[in-house]
């Protein structure tokens, strides 16, 4: 068989992925081949005419097969970029999504509005891979960050990500447990991207998403099984003027803003994701001494 050039291999891989209905065939093919050849996209373009080494071809075929069988690129590579950082991912955690960057941005807005407040404290519930907590600590190193998850393997992975990305192991206080169980003390900011997919919809998700851990996605009958106790429990763990920020589904926003209002939060605000959909909601707990 004739050898292929790198450019030809990419074209073939892209065509194969496109014919299987994959949304971003060219991007996926270049990420998979780039990983094997240790080249970024620019490097692949420069190497367009270079013959593809036969062992790389075998590996590329294997990766393409995994992608065709419904595994995401993040799973195949074992990592996913989020806010410019490379997070290790595993079958135990949700792959960080671009939409969740909105949660980080909303948190930064609140943190920066506090200006020179010394040592703001932050709690990230359902931290998973640690993407939200670690990005915030990375971008605002003065924050005192705690992060919890009910899943021990998720917490292990988050700890490893923190060690690698923050360059130290004690940058974030990781706490095992369900939501507020085991959380003591109060925080200026509580953030969470909890599981919020209604159980009945789990089967309708894209194949890549269906392979992710159910515990990270399943939000019960209406998707709010974790969101309700977070909204109810956060005031006890928020300092006066503290903020709760949650990611959820756009369709859940009216119900969630009602829960915020009933829970006594003020300044309730909704933030849009990259496709203009309501994705993050926040509210403030006022001081009780006024």
- Residue 270 makes contact with ligand GLN by CB under 6 A: no
CB of 199 to ligand GLN, least distance (A): 11
Quick one: 109 or 218, whose CB is closer to ligand GLN? 218
- Residue 195 makes contact with ligand GLN by CB under 6 A: yes
CB of 241 to ligand GLN, least distance (A): 27
Query: Burial, 288: exposed, middle or buried (Cβ in 10 Å; 0-12, 13-18, 19+)?
Result: exposed
- Residue 14 makes contact with ligand GLN by CB under 6 A: no
104, 131, 217, 238: which one binds ligand GLN (CB under 6 A): 217
26, 209, 215, 255: which one binds ligand GLN (CB under 6 A): 209
Query: Burial, 26: exposed, middle or buried (Cβ in 10 Å; 0-12, 13-18, 19+)?
Result: middle
Separation between Cα atoms, residue 121 and residue 142, nearest integer Å = 9
72, 146, 193, 252: which one binds ligand GLN (CB under 6 A): 193
Q: Which stretch binds ligand GLN (CB under 6 A): 19-27, 45-53, 74-82, 92-100?
A: 92-100
Quick one: 52 or 134, whose CB is closer to ligand GLN? 134
CA 166, 170, 176, 181 torsion-angle sign: negative
37, 132, 133, 197: which one binds ligand GLN (CB under 6 A): 197
CB of 131 to ligand GLN, least distance (A): 11
CB of 256 to ligand GLN, least distance (A): 13
- Residue 83 makes contact with ligand GLN by CB under 6 A: no
- Residue 253 makes contact with ligand GLN by CB under 6 A: no
Separation between Cα atoms, residue 193 and residue 131, nearest integer Å = 10
Build a one-symbol-per-residue string for 137-176: x at contacts with ligand GLN by CB under 6 A, - elsewhere.
Answer: ----------------------------------------
CB of 193 to ligand GLN, least distance (A): 5
CB 101 within 8 A of CB 85: no
Interface with ligand GLN (CB under 6 A): 94, 97, 99, 193, 195-197, 205, 209, 217
């Amino acid at each position: 068989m004739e050898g292929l050039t790198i450019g030809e291999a990419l074209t073939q891989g892209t065509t194969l992925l496109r014919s299987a209905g994959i949304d971003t065939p060219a991007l996926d093919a270049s990420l998979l081949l780039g990983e094997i050849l240790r080249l970024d996209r620019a490097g692949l373009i420069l190497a367009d005419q270079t013959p593809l080494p036969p062992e790389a071809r075998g590996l590329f075929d294997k990766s393409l097969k995994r992608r065709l069988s419904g595994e995401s690129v993040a799973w195949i590579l074992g990592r996913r970029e989020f806010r410019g950082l490379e997070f290790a991912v595993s079958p135990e955690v949700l792959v960080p999504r671009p939409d969740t960057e909105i949660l980080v941005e909303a948190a930064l807005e609140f943190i920066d509005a506090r200006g020179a407040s010394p040592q703001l404290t932050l709690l990230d519930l359902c931290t998973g891979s640690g993407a939200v907590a670690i990005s915030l600590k990375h971008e605002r190193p003065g924050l005192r960050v705690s992060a919890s998850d009910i899943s021990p393997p998720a917490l292990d992975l988050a700890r490893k990500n923190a060690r690698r990305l923050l360059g130290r192991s004690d940058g974030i206080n990781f706490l095992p447990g369900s939501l507020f169980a085991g959380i003591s003390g109060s925080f200026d900011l509580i953030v969470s991207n909890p599981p919020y997919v209604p159980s009945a919809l789990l089967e309708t998700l894209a194949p890549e998403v269906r392979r992710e851990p159910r515990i990270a996605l399943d939000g019960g009958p209406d998707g709010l099984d974790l969101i309700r106790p977070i909204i109810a429990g956060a005031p006890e763990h928020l300092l006066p003027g503290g903020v709760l920020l949650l990611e959820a589904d756009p369709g859940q926003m009216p119900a969630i803003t009602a829960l915020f209002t009933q829970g006594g939060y003020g300044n309730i605000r909704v933030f849009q994701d990259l496709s203009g959909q309501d994705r993050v909601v926040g509210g403030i707990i006022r001081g009780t001494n006024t």
